[in-house]
Amino acid sequence: MAPENIRPLTALFRAVKQYVAVKLKSGEEYRGTMAFCDNYMNIILEDAGEYRREKEVANHGRIRIRGNN
Is the pLDDT reported for residue 1 higher than 80? no
pLDDT in tens, 16-39: 999 999 999 988 999 999 999 999
Using an 8 Å Cβ cutoff, are 56 and 50 in contact?
yes
The share of the chain scoring above pLDDT 70, in percent, equals 94
pTM of the model: 0.84
- Return d(Cα 67, Cα 24) in angstroms, integer: 10
Span 4-8, mean pLDDT?
A: 84
Q: Tell me the pLDDT band of 3, cut-offs 50, 70 and 90.
A: low
